[in-house]
Amino acid sequence: MLNSENALITMKGIHKSFPGVQALEDVDFNLRREEIHALVGENGAGKSTLIKVLTGVEKPDKGMITLDGKEIQIKSTQHAQEIGISTVYQEVNLCPNLTVAENIFIGREPHKLGCVDWKTMNQNAGQIMKSLDVDIDVTRALGSFSVAIQQMTAIARALIISSARILILDEPTSSLDAHETSQLFAVMRKLKKDGMSIIFITHFLDQVYEVTDRITVLRNGKLVGTYETATLPRLDLITKMIGRSLTEFEDMTKTKLESSKHIRGDALLKARDLGQMGAIEPFDLELHAGEVVGLAGLLGSGRSELAALLFGTEKPDFGTLTISEKAVTDFSPLASINRGIGLCPEDRKAEGIVDDLSIRENIILAMQASRGWLRYLPVQKQYEIAEHFIKLLNIVTPSADQLVKNLSGGNQQKVILARWLAINPQVLILDEPTRGIDVGAKAEIQKLVLSLAEDGKACVFISSELDEVLRTSHRIVVLREREKINEFSGEVEEHKIMQAMAGSEV
């Protein structure tokens, strides 16, 4: 039984099931006044479902929720906001065509003489963003700003709810760089000091220990336990999250050294002075068969822009690109697929999955595109391919016919990986493949990348987590301010990469 002392909100015995899935089973949770409380667990552990129950998106099958000691029935998201619960979800859900100010105040615009008071709204929006240490022109369209600014705008919108007592942040730092994350943590601490209670959902364990007071761990829809952050060793937390001792990461160095024996001398891909005006400065890059090349750099350093040029999503203004000694003249995703290049994009929601298609249909998309729509892949073959990769990547789903939008974020990412593995690519570009993925799944994907290299494929591995770039890559290219700065081979110390990223090489 959880200690409910000083609890603002308590959830007891929460059950929630969906067709074929028991999402929550007898889960208890409580949030104290003026605390930052981490909610952690592997993908599919039940975190998102628990939050949806708390915010009125889903109704529990069984269980009780109390606020200030009184039982409540949360009827809708609007009702949740009225009683003081405000949420910022992982995927920014705002209107890119509206201004920053309009997005912050949509539905709550100040009025004067029966009309929207634009001057006051813009002034107030500017002040709110400045309180988050973000100084921008709030009259510009939200879509003209980076994903990081859009995330901060979503947080600002959540904060203007006058009655907000509980703020839920679902992976708020996934699109923020280190400086922006520090700014957010400063805001969170200030809000806590001012009386706010915060539920913080994240897969970054360093951040859990940096900013939270308590940790609740879920696994397979069940409560593992709630712990004081200061008294729970990190290794114990990982063990509780995955239900077994974590040995995968300890073996990764040995696995990488073994896989390095398979690197061949011939380059599958060569870029010479390749660049795009305003996006990335001209760069040279070679990818060899059997090699994993990591791209390291801060948010906005040019990692995704480089990937877009290699895959043909964007066309270069300068330089040349050759694949298997053949010059590339047709820069397009379809041409790249036909050349044996795959790209798992950074934004899986906008550029990866197709929400209203099943897992099977999402997995065979690239293969079907390469065949042409007149050579339809037989349905039975589609099921064989889908079932193979569901098993290979341990995609948690009742069936291949499950809509991909009903999967957890990590399982959606695995579906995108499966799509590209199905075409057996020569070159696979992975842009943040482990973002929003739990600790156990990170190890699975990293091992998969190295096994692909052993099979003779060339991989580009992009991650904001420098430790996994080091763990997975045979060679590391460092980017800064949209320019290739340095390149490291073999075993390299983390601080040297960080110095190169920060512009302070010694």
* pLDDT surpasses 90 at 121: yes
**Mean pLDDT estimate for the chain:** 86
Residue 244: per-residue pLDDT: 54
Instruction: Output the pLDDT for position 107.
Output: 85
User: Residues 19-37: what's their mean pLDDT?
Assistant: 91
Confidence of residue 279 (pLDDT cuts 50, 70, 90): confident
Split at pLDDT 50, 70, 90, the class of 497 is: confident
Looking at the predicted structure, is the pLDDT value of residue 252 above 70? no
Number of neighbouring beta carbons within 10 Å of residue 131: 12
Query: Which residue, 126, 125, 170, is CA-closest to 151?
Result: 170
At residue 162, does pLDDT exceed 50?
A: yes
Torsion angle (degrees, nearest 10) of CA 145, 283, 478, 254: 120
Does pLDDT of 32 surpass 60?
yes
Q: What pLDDT shows up at residue 436?
A: 65
Contact (Cβ atoms closer than 8 angstroms) between residue 458 and residue 475: no
> Is it the case that residue 465 has pLDDT exceeding 50?
yes
Q: What angle do CA 350, 354, 358 make, to 5 degrees?
A: 150
- Tell how many helices (H) and how many strands (E) occur in the chain: 18, 22
pLDDT for 408 beyond 80: no
Question: What is the CA 198 to chain-centroid distance, rounded?
Answer: 20
- What are the domain boundaries of the chain? 7-242, 247-340+427-433+456-506, 347-424
Q: What tokens does 206 get?
A: 């360093």
Which of 133-137, 231-235, 273-277 ranks highest by mean pLDDT?
273-277
Q: Where are any strands of DSSP class E within 277-325?
A: 280-288, 292-296, 318-323
In the predicted structure, residue 247 carries a pLDDT above the cut 70: no
The answer to whether residue 498 scores a pLDDT higher than 90 is no
User: What band does 105 get if pLDDT is binned at 50, 70 and 90?
Assistant: very high
CA 89 to chain centre: 11
Cα–Cα distance, 293 to 429 (Å, whole number): 10
Q: d(Cα 309, Cα 261) in Å, to the nearest integer?
A: 29
Is it the case that residue 55 has pLDDT exceeding 60?
yes
C-alpha 129/C-alpha 138 separation (Å) is 8
Instruction: Please tell me the predicted confidence (pLDDT) of residue 38.
Output: 97
pLDDT score for 260: 67
**Which of 129-133, 211-215, 352-356 ranks highest by mean pLDDT?**
211-215
Q: Please answer whether residues 26 and 13 qualify as being in contact, where contact means their C-beta atoms are separated by less than 8 angstroms.
A: yes
Q: Select the more confidently predicted residue: 225 or 205.
A: 225
- Considering only 16-30, 102-116, 176-190, 199-213, which range has the smallest mean pLDDT? 176-190
pLDDT-above-70 percentage for the chain? 89
Position with higher pLDDT, 18 vs 247: 18
**What CATH code would you report for 247-340+427-433+456-506?**
3.40.50.300
Residue 43 pLDDT level (bands cut at 50, 70, 90): low
pLDDT one-digit tens code per residue, 282-321:
999 999 988 999 998 876 788 989 999 999 989 999 999 9
Q: Which residues contact 354 (CB under 8 A, 6 or more apart)?
A: 361, 362, 365, 404
CA angle 476, 477, 479 (to 5 degrees): 140
pLDDT tens per residue across span 181-214: 888 898 899 889 989 999 999 877 889 999 999 9
- 3-state helix, strand, coil split of the chain in percent (to 5) is 40, 25, 35
What phi-psi label fits residue 195: left (phi over 0), alpha (psi between -120 and 50 degrees) or beta? left
User: Residues 6 or more apart from 94 whose CB is under 8 A from it?
Assistant: 103, 142, 150, 153, 154, 157
In sequence order, the 6+-apart residues with CB closer than 8 A to the CB of 444 are 248, 393, 394
* pLDDT at residue number 198: 96
Architecture of domain 7-242: 3-Layer(aba) Sandwich (3.40)
380 pLDDT higher than 90: yes
Taking residues 158-171, report their average pLDDT: 83
Residue 404 structure tokens: 């991909």
How far is Cα 476 from Cα 471, in angstroms, rounded to an integer?
A: 11
- The reply to whether 7-242 and 247-340+427-433+456-506 are identical in fold is yes
pLDDT greater than 80 at residue 381: yes
Provide the 8-state DSSP code for 376. P
Which residue do the tokens 């705002």 mark? 94
Share of the chain above pLDDT 90, in %: 44
Strand partners, 293: 460, 475
Q: Is 386 exposed, middle or buried (0-12, 13-18, 19+ CB in 10 A)?
A: buried
For residues 311 and 239, give the distance between their C-alpha atoms in angstroms, rounded to a whole number.
38
Q: What is the reported pLDDT for 363? A: 92
How many other C-beta atoms are found inside a 10 Å radius of the C-beta of residue 505? Answer: 11
Q: At what angle do helices 252-259 and 439-454 cross, to 10 degrees?
A: 10
Query: Is 5 exposed, middle or buried (CB count within 10 Å of its CB: 0-12, 13-18, 19+)?
Result: exposed
Res. 1: pLDDT tops 50: no
pLDDT in tens, 425-457: 889 999 888 876 666 677 777 888 888 888 888
